[in-house]
Amino acid sequence: MRKPLPEFAQLSLKELRSFWKKYRGNEDIERLVLEVQFSRGVINEIDVYFKSIHQAWRDNNLGELVALEKVRLLLVHQRVRQNVLAGLKPAPGRNDPPEPEPALID
């Protein structure tokens, strides 16, 4: 059985761009940066397909499929990671109270 990866701070897009500029010409680093960005793109594409499959599953009243739910949770986790890296706050949960509107300054 493989050992899980240790916890680590994810790389932001800004950090990836910094590595790209700093190590320009280092083929290994360039490939790693491209691999990270490519993988993030693939995850986003999988998320689009998942939503289509999930909707079809629900439209046919097929109940809850454990594997489909696990994939959904993995995609949610990745979306939250990407939002955090972009400096965005995660969307509130369904049962969370709405945030107050900011006060208008005259």
Ranges assigned E (strand) in the chain: none
pLDDT tens-place string over residues 83-102: 765 555 555 566 666 655 55
d(CA 74, CA 76): 5
What pLDDT digit, counting tens, does each position of 5-24 carry? Answer: 888 788 888 899 999 999 99
Domain ranges of the chain: 13-85
- Between helix 27-59 and helix 66-85 the angle, nearest 10°, is 130
Q: Which amino acid is at 22?
A: K
Please state, in angstroms and rounded to a whole number, the distance separating the CA atoms of residues 23 and 6.
25
pTM of the model: 0.59
